[in-house]
Amino acid sequence: MADILEVLRRWGGVARRGDLFRDGVARAELEAALAAGILVRPRRGIYALPDADPVLVRCAATSSLLTCVSAARHHGFWVVREPEEAHILRMDGRYDSGRAVVHRQSWWPPEPRSHVASRPDVLLHALRCLPELEALVMVESAAQKGLSLDFLRQRLPGRRNAAARRVLDAVGSGADSLLETLAREHLRRAGLGVQPQVEVEGVGWMDVLVEGFVDVETDGRVHNEPAQRAKDYRRDRAAQLRGYEVLRYTYSDIVDRPQSMVAEVCEVVARRRALGGPAPGRTAVG
């Protein structure tokens, strides 16, 4: 029984009967596991663990592939919002197994026996499907893993793909999280000068430095932990003593209320300029 479970987990919790046989699972073992409730059979020829991702099970049962934002986490890409509907790849466009966003074009084959589209397909679908900033965070995280932006750009010719190419043009480097990417891009689009991931002697790394003197910090869940919070307080005092303004924003601030974040940063920038004080001298650690 353990062999069957190991094989199924290797394939995301769901597999076709023929593939299980090719992996050395005997027919008698398969039927015994099914009778014992260790496995379920959602459709003829398809076997799954009871806790398998139901969307992956649907893909296996309909000869489809999970793609776009629905497949982002499977490839380790950042995701701003979980989709309300599954995004699937089926090149004939037919899908009669519940509500879904159906993508029809494929540029690169998936891994053998995978129920998830290839990394290039997932990103290209996202670039042509999602709002610009949601596509940007996915592509930027993929670029940090070494995926070639030129490879994607070459597959997005013509006027109909102009918006997707603009997303590729906005991809930056060095962001540690999707929050940094979103904050940087919102502030840049507001006309502010931004520098991501600036290291300042005596302070450390600043997430986004705005106009040379506003340190915008993007706080994920780890910043709620007491030890991290105390470290943040010490770091902020060090930045302020060196002449920087420090503003901290949470996931909700950046994702749900970006206009308020931008307005506050602009207000601090305008106030500092009105005072006419010099920008702090920055010493980068080489």
pLDDT tens digits, 256-275: 999 999 999 999 999 999 98
Token match 């991501």: residue?
196
Task: Tokens for 231, please give them.
Answer: 């470290």
Average pLDDT value for the chain = 90
Amino acid at 277: G
pLDDT category at 123 given cuts 50, 70, 90 is very high
pLDDT category at 95 given cuts 50, 70, 90 is low
Confidence check: pLDDT of 286 > 50: no
Each residue of 83-108: b (16+ CB within 10 Å) or e? beebbbbbeeeebeeeebbbbeebbe
pLDDT tens digits, 175-233: 889 999 999 999 999 999 999 999 999 999 999 999 999 999 998 765 556 777 888 99
Residues 87/101, Cβ–Cβ less than 8 Å: yes
pLDDT tens digits, 125-181: 999 999 999 999 999 999 999 999 999 999 999 999 999 999 999 999 888 899 999
pLDDT category at 285 given cuts 50, 70, 90 is very low
For 2-52, CATH gives 1.10.10
Instruction: State the number of CA atoms in the 13 A half-sphere of 37 facing the CB.
Output: 0
**Measured distance CA(226)–CA(229) in Å, rounded:** 5
Strands (E), the chain: 14-16, 40-43, 46-48, 65-66, 86-89, 100-103, 194-200, 204-210, 214-219, 245-250
Distance of CA 17 to the CA centre of its chain: 32
Task: Tokens for 60, please give them.
Answer: 């296996």
pLDDT tens digits, 243-259: 999 999 999 999 999 99
**CATH 1.10.10 intervals, the chain:** 2-52
Domain 178-275, what architecture? 3-Layer(aba) Sandwich (3.40)
**CATH 3.40.960.10 intervals, the chain:** 178-275
Task: Tokens for 226, please give them.
Answer: 């007491």
Percent of the chain beyond pLDDT 70? Answer: 93
